[in-house]
Amino acid sequence: MTKTEKLSDLNKRWSLKNTCELKTSATQPVFGDGNPNADIVFIGEAPGKSEDKTGKPFVGAAGKFLAEMLQSIKLKREDVYITNIVKYRPPNNRDPKPSEKESCAKWLVEELNLIEPKLIVFLGRHAMHNFFPELIIGDAHGKLIQKKLPGIATEYFLPLYHPAAALYNGGMRETLKKDFAVIAKSIKKLKK
Ligand code: URA
């Protein structure tokens, strides 16, 4: 089986067996998307309205901004892999509840270990807290972390502000741009 086939298998399996309460209100599950052999995986929070409609992560306003940021470091969406900690849209885009995060947690870990990227980038504090609950996004953003976490193959992580938060905030936008440059620098080092 190719990695793409394995991912499709994994998504089918988890979308059937997981018990997330959001399944009843969401239109469909939003699976990860992109290159299954990517060196970089981006993890967001949960699908929004456009994602729920299309079944693809980061295709709305935040996704357009993410594509712009990727372009600033000469990457395309197709070069990386993009997913969320929660695979179903929370009603009215509210924050996912701890139980909703928990019900998708093993799905995400399996997904990450199948891709085995060199670097995992957290888009926002929700994604970061899933792995590093003790960190504060205001301090941790843009700083590469090396840590062996139980059950996770990848050892390098980079927290960033969420693109939706930076979209209409000029200062945060500039910070996010600078932090994206850290991705380019880090991946160059990790690939040596
Ligand atoms: N915000 C997220 O965190 N994920 C998406 O897929 C879209 C917006």
Domain limits of the chain? 3-187
From 30, 51, 66, mutation site for ligand 1 pocket: most ligand atoms within 8 A of C-beta:
51
Task: Say yes or no: CB of residue 90 within 6 Å of ligand 1.
Answer: no
pLDDT, tens only, 54-67: 999 999 999 999 99
pLDDT in tens, 147-158: 999 999 999 999
The DSSP H or E segment spanning 123 is: strand 119-123
Q: Please give the pLDDT value at position 192.
A: 80
pTM (global) more than 0.95: yes
What spacing in Å lies between the alpha carbon of 171 and ligand 1's midpoint?
21
CATH of domain 3-187: 3.40.470.10
- DSSP characters over 24-48: GTSSS----EE-TT-SEEEEES---
Report the distance separating Cα 17 and Cα 19, nearest Å. 6
Evaluate if residue 191 carries a pLDDT over 90: no
pLDDT in tens, 127-149: 999 999 999 999 999 999 999 99
pLDDT confidence band for 116 (50 / 70 / 90): very high
Tokens of 160: 């960033």
